[in-house]
């Protein structure tokens, strides 16, 4: 018997959205539409390696249209969500309108500046591909400026980097900066030999890597400090203006470079009632990821908070594995619902936590059984898991190659300052005879 496929609109093409789309895009009972403001998926845990020139953008990103090429019942729509009209089951995008039978939010999260406008205005964010490229350009330009600067105080200000946020991202980028300072910068910028400039890692909590074990926290702290990173704990950033980072306890650090890796928040959308949002602006969902108070609307990944999992009564951590597993579970449940089969409540399987700190230095916590790894073994565990998490084989091969070169040579050749041409420059290169 012929039937009309249900139209499922997925907003957001990160881990959650892509895994849901993969589960449904070949099923004849669904028409899947993926909406995203970018035309590519990317891998956020490796953003900092693009920002520091260890990986190319294409290593961690892949176009949606190529990823889903040949998939039945799949459509991609480029656009940014502006408003939801639940009563009419439609979305208003920056590129037009679209209707739905089922709507799934998989919009992830954005950088949280905790209301500090000066930090938002002046700090360097590290959440998107655009952020990573901007950060790489900015830091390389400041190295170039420092290499010709004769004022020692200004040179120190240009070379000092403050990383705010002691989670995995902050720890990993601080460790990478320490490696670069010791190896790459010393070779590429002989003019800076003997120049002052420090790397600070600051956090408002009493330990680094707070979700991880005490062994991992101590190993990270000891390794970073041994490699020259100045770690300041119980140090909450309150302001960043006039090249000075201000802390709640009155301390300051003079620097032009504050890298913000201190928090994230979900996105609030026009048309979704305020009662649907919980802590961190995350949409409140039930055990099947259905949004509280709305019909045929779901949320998965970082953008939702689910308190029905007995092992995570305060909600799941905002990490990749939660998003992947929720996307897969919701896809299977939508297929089950077609035959009125019993749906499976979501239960998160924690595969562990890892962080890389430097060459041959990493930590890994595995929950079942409860094990701690450090050093080279943890490093290769980290490399293996992150390679597997990349979206396709091409990404994995290119990333493995770049990592291999960097590991063997203590170097990488991706440190180019590349900016889009200005309007004036574009006009200058126009052919005279068109």
Active site (catalytic) residues: 172
- Note whether 22 and 74 are within 8 A (CB): no
Q: Two tokens at 213? A: 């074990």
């Amino acid at each position: 018997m012929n039937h009309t496929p249900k139209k499922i609109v997925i907003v957001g093409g990160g881990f959650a959205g892509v895994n849901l789309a993969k589960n449904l895009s070949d099923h004849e009972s669904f028409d899947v539409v993926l909406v995203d403001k970018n035309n590519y998926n990317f891998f956020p845990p490796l953003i900092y390696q693009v920002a520091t020139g260890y990986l190319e953008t294409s290593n961690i990103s892949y176009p949606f249209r190529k990823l889903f090429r040949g998939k039945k019942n799949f459509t991609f729509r480029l656009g940014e969500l502006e408003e939801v009209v639940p009563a009419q089951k439609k979305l208003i995008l920056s590129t037009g309108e679209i209707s739905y039978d089922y709507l799934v939010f998989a919009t992830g999260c954005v950088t949280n500046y905790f209301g500090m406008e000066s930090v938002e205005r002046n700090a360097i964010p590290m959440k998107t591909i655009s952020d990573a490229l901007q950060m790489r350009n900015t830091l390389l330009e400041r190295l170039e400026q420092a290499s010709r600067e004769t004022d020692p105080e200004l040179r120190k200000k240009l070379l000092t980097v403050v990383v705010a946020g002691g989670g995995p991202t902050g720890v990993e980028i601080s460790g990478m900066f320490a490696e670069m300072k010791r190896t790459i910068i010393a070779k590429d910028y002989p003019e800076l030999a003997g120049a002052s400039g420090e790397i600070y890692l600051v956090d408002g909590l009493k330990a680094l890597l707070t979700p991880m074990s005490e062994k991992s926290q101590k190993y990270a702290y000891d390794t970073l400090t041994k490699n020259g990173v100045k770690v300041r704990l119980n140090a909450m950033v309150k302001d960043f203006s006039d090249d000075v980072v201000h802390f709640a306890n009155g301390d300051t650090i003079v620097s032009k470079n504050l890298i913000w890796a201190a928090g994230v928040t979900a996105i609030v959308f026009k048309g979704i009632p305020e009662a649907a949002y919980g802590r961190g602006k995350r949409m409140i969902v039930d055990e099947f990821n259905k949004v509280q108070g709305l019909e045929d609307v779901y949320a998965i990944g970082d953008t939702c908070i689910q308190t029905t999992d007995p092992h995570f009564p305060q909600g799941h951590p905002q990490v990749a594995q939660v998003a992947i597993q929720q996307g897969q579970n919701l896809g299977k449940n939508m297929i089950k619902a077609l035959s009125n089969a019993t749906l499976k409540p979501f239960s998160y399987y924690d595969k562990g936590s890892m962080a890389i700190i430097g060459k041959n230095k990493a930590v890994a916590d595995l929950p079942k059984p409860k094990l701690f790894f450090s050093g080279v073994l943890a490093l290769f565990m980290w490399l293996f898991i992150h390679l597997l998490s990349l979206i396709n084989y091409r990404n994995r091969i290119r990333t493995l190659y770049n990592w291999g070169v960097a590991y063997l040579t203590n170097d990488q050749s991706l440190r180019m300052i590349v900016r889009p041409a200005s309007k004036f420059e574009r006009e200058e290169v126009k052919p005279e005879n068109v």
